[in-house]
Amino acid sequence: MSTEEDLPQHIAIIMDGNGRWAKSRGKPRHTGHRAGVKATRAIVEAAAERGVRALTLFAFSSENWSRPEEEVSSLMSLFFEVLQREVEILDKNNIRVRFVGAREQLSDRLQKKLAAAEAQTAGNDGMELALAVAYGGRWDIVNAVRQLSERVAAGELRSEDINDELFADSLSLAGMPPLDLLIRTGGEQRISNFLLWDMAYSELYFTPTLWPDFGAPQLDEALEFYAGRQRRFGRTGEQVDAPA
């Protein structure tokens, strides 16, 4: 029987495999990205239905700027189009949206759309959805260091008062529940500079399923995997099993 504890509160997903999905059908890569959007919509809905409190999706990494210009610009247009179309639905579903990443690297028009989506959904208290665009785990950490060191330089903070908690409060996902489960589709077993700090104690789930083929049944398989893990956080299995 599943208990509330068996459900991850916060899931992050590296949505990988759109290009290969398209290639296997003899289609251009952008067809795969469009199919990926459909999968994204279904997973957001399924996660919210299952009672997940927070979902973080890796849509575009700091390294993805190195892709051919044509692919980068078609992805940026796709983000804009999706925001235009989907924010209303997210809002109706009581989902709160946050964007994480180096947003100043995005076009002005996309930055405005992102800010508008955040503002429109700010009052919602359902699932929190973090979309990582132009995001890198190293960028996030460096950014936090910069913010904290500025506060130290301004005399607002003493360096000896910096601890795990304060550091986490300076990262992009500040205020979100701890990251319980990381899913990567597309078969690679690597992190590709995603949430380096946040995944210190996440359970890791890798599946060969390509992102456009990942739907609610595949999410349920990942949730089942998660429910079967014993999270020890450094303790022994006996300690974890002992009645409180």
Instruction: Output the residue with the shortest Cβ distance to ligand IPE.
Output: 19
Binding site for Mg ion (CB under 5 A): 16
Does position 139 bind ligand IPE by CB under 6 A?
no
Site string for ligand IPE, 11-50 (x = CB under 6 A): ---xxxxxxx------------------------------
Residue 68 beta carbon to Mg ion: minimum distance, rounded to whole angstroms: 14
Q: What is the CA radius of gyration of the chain?
A: 19
Nearer to ligand IPE by C-beta: 75 or 106? 75
Nearer to ligand IPE by C-beta: 71 or 118? 71
Q: Which long-range contacts (CB under 8 A, 24 or more apart) does 33-42 make?
A: 33/74, 33/75, 33/78, 34/78, 35/212, 36/211, 36/212, 37/78, 37/82, 38/212, 39/15, 39/211, 39/212, 39/213, 39/214, 39/215, 40/15, 41/86, 42/215, 42/216
- Return the residue of 61, 62, 209, 218 that touches ligand IPE, per CB under 6 A: 61
Pairing mode, strands 181-184 and 10-14: parallel
> Residue written as tokens 């949730």?
223
**Which of ligand IPE, Mg ion, none does 15 bind, CB closer than 5 to 8 A by kind?**
ligand IPE
Residue 190 beta carbon to ligand IPE: minimum distance, rounded to whole angstroms: 6
- Considering 18, 64, 94, 143, which one is annotated as catalytic? 64
- Return the residue of 46, 60, 181, 219 that touches ligand IPE, per CB under 6 A: 60
Task: Indicate the residue type of 18.
Answer: N
One-character DSSP codes across 149-195: HHHHHTTSS-GGG--HHHHHHTSTTTTSPP--EEEE-SS----TT--
Give the residue numbers annotated as catalytic, written as ranges. Answer: 16, 64
Q: In the complex, which residues of this chain contact ligand IPE (CB under 6 A)?
A: 14-20, 58-61, 64, 75, 186, 188, 190, 192
